[in-house]
Amino acid sequence: MVPIASFADYYCPYCRVQTKRLSELGSELGPEVAIEWHELPLLGETSILAARAALAAKRQDAYVAFHESLLTSPFRANAEYLSLLSERIGVDHDRLIADMESESVSRELEISAALSRLFAFVGTPAMVVGRTVIQGEISDRTLRRIISLEREEGWSSVC
């Protein structure tokens, strides 16, 4: 199994494409990969609001639905949009708002930011695939090749 850490911002158009393709690849490869999604809101206050909302939705087991909605629709993260999205997905909006300001959501964002600094990411999208650090969008073919190389080289015996 090859671990993949994906770092993205909901307002980054390249992230939208890369995240969708990575999700599809993860579904296809199943247990061959383990994808960890990291919110890395670099593009302003609305990016931070969207990231906090997605992480708060995770506390209600609705991260995937929230994540997909944020990535597949043109949106402007604001109170009204989050209320409508909460209702559509079926999460408790009051709890979502409270969790957005929680210490655990703040901590999760801090950890992702610290990891991005460790890997010297200058923007999004970015990934770590096994031992391979990737900055920017890459093709499915290249990503598949990296996963294959990581499996062949036995990254876990080195790390």
Give the total number of structural domains in the chain: 1
pLDDT digits (tens, 9 = 90+) for 37-65: 999 999 999 899 999 999 999 999 999 88
How far, in Å, CA of 151 to CA of 149, rounded?
Answer: 5
What pLDDT score was predicted for residue 155? Answer: 56
CB 4 within 8 A of CB 128: yes
- Give long-range contacts, CB 8 A cutoff, 24+ apart: 145-153: 147/2, 147/4, 147/29, 147/32, 147/33, 150/2, 151/2, 151/32
Sign of CA dihedral 56, 58, 64, 65: negative
What pLDDT score was predicted for residue 157? Answer: 56
* CATH number for position 13: 3.40.30.10
Could you tell me the residue range of the domain that residue 65 belongs to?
A: 2-158
What pLDDT score was predicted for residue 118? Answer: 95
**pLDDT < 70 stretches in the chain:** 155-159
Instruction: Reduce the DSSP state of residue 61 to 3 states and report it.
Output: coil
How far, in Å, CA of 143 to CA of 75, rounded?
Answer: 29
Residue type at position 90: G
Q: State the pTM of this model.
A: 0.89
